[in-house]
Structure 1
Amino acid sequence: MFKKATSFLLVFVIMFSSMAFATDIDKQRQESAEKLIAMGILTGFEDGSLRLEENITREQFATLAVKLLNKESEAEKLKKDSIFKDVKKDRWSVGYINVAVNQGLIVGRGDGTFAPSANITHGEILTILVRLLGYTNTVDPNKKWPQNYVDKAKELGIDIANGIDPSAPAIRGDVVVYIDKSLIVKLNGVSRK
């Protein structure tokens, strides 16, 4: 009887702590999203939702990065053409992708494509944020990508939890937390004009 009671108690404690952890993360995601909306960096979907639990695409994150740089007017000017064969000039994100590439924040797939609607990974996001903040030259060149950028992001305080696989697709909720945390990082030789 004692073993059953102890087992039940242990299961209850594990379940409760997992739910509390999930609630804290969800709260952090919501608070970060609200802050980014107020700053004009994040917008929702046409139905008003933020879909924080859904994956984010490469073009969506390139757009957020350009907004962080306050280069939306430049994106408007660069809507004409794309260097990527899978990003047509009438695609909604073409100007943002062009600016993000021109700024050295993000690159294509190496085969002439960008894969705009592909999911973006945690490693790619942290790489872009480290670049955006001007810390590329401080990344350990002896470590393999993306771990070198992930380690730098953690050092800068731009992380959400240990154990996240850098090659796993990121969800929108995690991305808003990464961006929110990056806003308090001291810029390294760049400005947010």
Structure 2
Amino acid sequence: MKKYIILSLILAAILCLNSLSVGAQSIPEIQAKNADALVTLGIMKGYEDGTLRLENKIKRSEFITLVVNLMGYNTDTDIGNVKVTFTDINKNHWAFNNIKLAIKYDLVSGYPDNTIAPNNDVTYAEALAVVIRALGYEKTLKGEWPENVVNKALELKLSTNLKLEPNHKLTRGEMSVIVYNALTVKFNR
């Protein structure tokens, strides 16, 4: 319990500091501040060389890992019975356990051809759909894909500081903004 109170206080301080200084910042500066906050909270990790490479496109496996970490599911070790039936990933993939966790918590279902495409880039609409599902708002979506997730993201303020097309392939920096914004959304559970 103490751990969660301390993390909540740290998050509140980070959010306050970031909101005070957002006014005249450029998009890359906002992305860097958001990413730094996510690193501090243990949600986002850099590469082996210590960089975050915010300008790189984010892969589906990286994205799934971020959402699993955002939700705190990465502490769940009870995944032995979770079956991964996707044909394009095996247990040696670095994100295999995170994908198992995403399956366990119904965050992802993959594609109709029974693949998860872990090394493909994530589109803005795909990312919004998973974050909206993680936050418990999937059943409140109205309208057709992808406008339904884009509209819900606007309502929840997940897209604050972003103006992207649904099929835009996200960078790690853009994804850090979505995940950072998700920290302020009340869970609908």
TM-score normalised to structure 1 length = 0.80
The change in CA–CA distance for 1:75 and 1:109 in structure 2 (over 3 A counts) is: farther
Q: What SS class does the counterpart of residue 176 from structure 2 fall into?
A: helix
Can you give the 5+ residue segments of structure 1 that lack an aligned partner in the other structure?
1-20
CA contact (8 A) 1:87 1:116 kept: yes
- Alignment-derived partner of residue 135 in structure 1: 137
1:138, CA displacement in angstroms? 1.1
AA in 2 matched with 1:155: E
The count of corresponding residues between Structure 1 and Structure 2 is 166
- Alignment-derived partner of residue 16 in structure 1: none
Query: Considering only CA atoms, is the larger Rg found in Structure 1 or Structure 2?
Result: 1
User: Which of the residues 115, 118, 121 maps onto 2:117?
Assistant: 115
- Alignment-derived partner of residue 94 in structure 1: 96
CA contact (8 A) 2:59 2:119 kept: yes
Residues 22-171 of structure 1 mapped to structure 2, 5 A cutoff: 24-74=26-76, 77-78=79-80, 82-140=84-142, 143-159=143-159, 160-162=161-163, 164-171=164-171
- Alignment-derived partner of residue 3 in structure 1: none
CA contact (8 A) 1:75 1:96 kept: no
The change in CA–CA distance for 1:71 and 1:78 in structure 2 (over 3 A counts) is: farther
The change in CA–CA distance for 1:174 and 1:145 in structure 2 (over 3 A counts) is: same
1:146, CA displacement in angstroms? 1.9
1:99, CA displacement in angstroms? 1.4
Report the Cα distance in structure 2 between the residues aligned to 1:130 and 1:32, rounded to whole angstroms: 19
1:79, CA displacement in angstroms? 9.6
Q: What SS class does the counterpart of residue 76 from structure 2 fall into?
A: helix
Can you give the 5+ residue segments of structure 2 that lack an aligned partner in the other structure?
1-22
Summarize deviations over 1:71-102 as a string: whole Å, max 9, x none.
11336745986211111111111111121122
Report the Cα distance in structure 2 between the residues aligned to 1:179 and 1:103, rounded to whole angstroms: 17
CA contact (8 A) 1:134 1:188 kept: yes
Segments ≥4 residues shifted beyond 3 Å: 75-81
Moved more, 149-158 or 22-31: 22-31
Report the Cα distance in structure 2 between the residues aligned to 1:77 and 1:100, rounded to whole angstroms: 10
1:161, CA displacement in angstroms? 2.9
Q: What SS class does the counterpart of residue 28 from structure 1 fall into?
A: helix
Summarize deviations over 1:2-31 as a string: whole Å, max 9, x none.
xxxxxxxxxxxxxxxxxxx99610110011
The change in CA–CA distance for 1:75 and 1:52 in structure 2 (over 3 A counts) is: farther
